[in-house]
Structure formats: structure tokens, C-alpha cells
Structure 1
């Protein structure tokens, strides 16, 4: 009796135009708070490294209509000199000065109201760092609409969503369209990565912060979110994105993080 052949491991293979692009890959980063600010810094470091390796790098637009207040100091990446400024402007100006980039701050709330400017809301990769389930579903609606109505160079392909509660969270990568996969004798290529809003609706509701009113102080803010949950998620999520660009093949499409127990569980491509 012949032994059974083991099943091929499922993988997602990244399209060549992201690995060897002629122009910088467009990224829309939604949210400039605790997680978004950390993700922006990681993207800037990634862009610098990609350029050094001969890649065209990234072009990032940061969307947030909120302003810096006293409670943001310490947990988020702002200084007293930036109080009252738009978060997106403060962060983008800093990154542009430090890394010599020409990234853009959008002092707007990303949502259906911006659909009149499809060039603005469409990007090859969308990264969301928002606090509410409602915001995620609106982002999903916008992105799904763009797959049908926008066919420019920056048509939407990937959506990476960051979400967290006080000391745990998750990062999940989804595709907005079928990504053509090459034939493989070693792997089982997967063209579709499920939308986070379709696969993990209950999880999103469970991890949403119960009190979304603004905190009046850093001490109050720390009762809602651990000091290092945002940076931990941002670094692990950026590592997944770095793997996408550098290796061109993904065995995992995200992860779950429990910072209180120092435990990370990968989410396999299936």
C-alpha cells in the first residue's frame, strides 16, 4: 500500500507588479492614532530599506481628521508643540523631514463621502487602524465599490486591518480582488484572502473598545489600552507587509496577539 502524499501547503503569491514596480506602490493609511502613528513610522523605515534594495518603494497618504490633544501625549507619537495640530499633518511632516519622502497628509475622514474622488480613496494597499466596527464596515464598502468602479493604476488589491482591545489584538490581510496565482508543484496557491469584515464579524465586535469617548489624560487613556499594544501590533503587522514585498509569498495572512500572555498565534493562508 502506497503512503498518502501530504497535502500541498496553501500559500498566497504576491503579484510581480508589487515586487518589481516601475513606480512607488500606493498605500492609504487610515488612522493616525496610537497604532496608525506606529505603522506610519514602520512604513517609512520599510520604504527606505526597499529603496536601498532597488525597489521603487512606497507612496503613503495618511487619513485622519482628528487633532492632537493632551491625552494623546505619551501613548501616541506627539509632542506638546503639536497640540492642536491635525494628527495626520504632524506625523507626515515629521516623516517627510526625517526620511526625505513626499508623503501626503489628508485631514479628512476616510469614508463614503470621499467617493467622488476615486483617485484619492483608491490605493494598491489600504491599511486601517480604526477604533470602531462601523468604521471598518464603511472602509470595506468603499473598497468593494472601488473594485467595481475604479480601474486606474492604483486599483485596490490588498487591505490590512489592525484592531485591538486593551492588551490583545489582531492584524488581518485581505484581498479585494482575485490575485492571479501561478501554477506550482510545491504549493497550493490561494487567490482570495477573505475580508476581515466577512470572516471575523464577531471578533471585531468583541475587540471594539467599549468606551470611545476621548480620554482627558494619559492615565485615563491607559485604562483603555496598554501602553505597548499599539507598537507591538504595528511591528508584527509591518513584518508581514515586509515579507509580502521581500519574499513574494505568504504562508500566513495575519496573526492574533495577546500581549498580557506574550503569545502570538499566526493565521494561516487556507
Structure 2
């Protein structure tokens, strides 16, 4: 009796041994994004120690830091009034000697429908609050993929991180198809579906987000548990790190319920 092959996705070959740091666009610097950036700094340092060129990160967010952001998000009282993206990037650059960039604008089309400058990247990580933002990101990535198919920083992966009060998820998808090696041991998948392709219709029908800014930390905690964002950020970063470390992944994401401490992996091919 033959043992069934394990479903896997192999990391894009160029990202395993690139000639330059890998461009990463992180979209959103709030509860999850601010925590994810610290994890990216740790990933970058670890990759450099393994003789990998590391990461070049651009953080997109046009919000200013308010009192409600201090504590639950990774900001200090002294940073109130600053742009979230710049405050985080300046802090990480001073800490680790990187030259990452803070983009003080939304990741969206301009008034004339143009794609924003610096939008190209190999990896995109979205930490946004709304369904509409995810559809916008998906549209821009699709257009970038068709325009810059042969560019060094062409889009390869999109990791979406999202949550409600106690639950959340991470969905890793490919942007187009990633060529896979021939394997007798594994069943390989050259494409992984995005959150829009897989859950877009359900997301549109169930969208009930209250996007009114919280005026205090106490009000913010009524909307989201204190540790849901950091847990999602750490587990999402672990998914990305393990793919770099092993060159492949059996899982393309997970669902998390922090209230009962249950986590369900999303397997490649499921």
C-alpha cells in the first residue's frame, strides 16, 4: 500500500538565495501591524546571521498615534501625534541599523487611478481592518503582477492577517503561480488561494465592522482583546519564518480562537 504524498508548497526559488534584500510591503501599522514589525526585525536579523541578504521593508499607514493606541498597540506616550508608520520605522532602524521606510499614505490608488509609488514588492503583508481594503489590495497586486512579471521585486506572496474581538486568521497566498520542483515524496502546489478568492463573497455579505476610531484604550479593549493582535502577529510571522527556514510549508495559514485557545491550521491543498 502506497503512503500518500504530503501536500506542500515550496518557497519561490529566488527568495531562498536572492542577490539583494527581499522587498516586503507591510500594509497597516495598528494593533497587528505594529507587533508584526518587531517580528519582521527578528526575522531579518536571523536571515542575516544565516548569510541571507535579509529584508527591505516598507510600512504603509497614514494614521497618527493617539492616546487610544498607547498600550494595546506598540506606541509610547512620547510618540502621540506622530505618524504610526514613521514612528515604528524610526524606532526599528535605530535599534537594528536597517534602512527601512515608513510610507505615510494608504496603500490604494491615487485620484487618477494610478498605483502608488514604491508599491512593488516580493512579499505583501496586510494588517488592515476592512473588507474593502483587502479587495483594493487584491486588485493592485493583480495589476502589478501583470505589469512587472519579470521584475526582481515582482509580487510572489500575500500574507493577510485579520481578527475580530477574540478570533483571527492568517492566510498565505501566492501572487500568480510559483514554479515547483519535481518531487517523488511530496505533492506540490504552485498556487495558494488568497483570502479574497476563497472567502471574498462571505466577507462581503457579513461585513459589519465599526471603523469609528476609539477615543481611549478602555474603549478599544471593548472591541478587541488585549492579546489577539500580538498572537496573530507572532503566529503569522512564524508561518513566514518557517517557510524561509525550511524552504517549504505544509500549511498556508491558520484560524485562531483566543477565548478557548484553539488553533486550526489551514493545510496546503485544502
- The TM-score normalised by the length of structure 2 is 0.95
Name the SS of the counterpart of 2:110 in structure 1. helix
In the alignment, is residue 126 of structure 1 matched against residue 153 of structure 2?
no
Q: Report deviation, 1:16.
A: 2.2
1:120-162, CA deviations, whole angstroms, 9 ceiling, x for partnerless residues?
1110000000000000000000000111112321010100000
Change (3 A) 1:146 1:41: same
Match of 2:146 among 145, 148, 152: 148
Report what 2:8 is aligned to.
11
- Contact 1:165–1:209 at 8 Å: present in 2 too? no
Match of 1:44 among 41, 46, 59: 41
- Contact 2:67–2:215 at 8 Å: present in 1 too? yes
Q: Report deviation, 1:6.
A: 3.2
Q: Report deviation, 1:241.
A: 0.3
Q: Report deviation, 1:66.
A: 0.4
- Contact 1:163–1:207 at 8 Å: present in 2 too? no
Report what 1:248 is aligned to.
247
Match of 1:95 among 86, 92, 95: 92
What stretches of structure 2 of length at least 5 have no aligned partner? none
Name the SS of the counterpart of 2:33 in structure 1. helix
Change (3 A) 1:208 1:76: farther
- Contact 1:164–1:207 at 8 Å: present in 2 too? no
- The TM-score normalised by the length of structure 1 is 0.95
Report what 1:189 is aligned to.
188
Name the SS of the counterpart of 1:48 in structure 2. helix
Report what 2:24 is aligned to.
27
Report what 1:166 is aligned to.
165
- Contact 1:209–1:224 at 8 Å: present in 2 too? no
What stretches of structure 1 of length at least 5 have no aligned partner? none
Name the SS of the counterpart of 1:257 in structure 2. strand
Report what 1:229 is aligned to.
228
* Cα separation, 1, equivalents of 2:3 and 2:177: 26
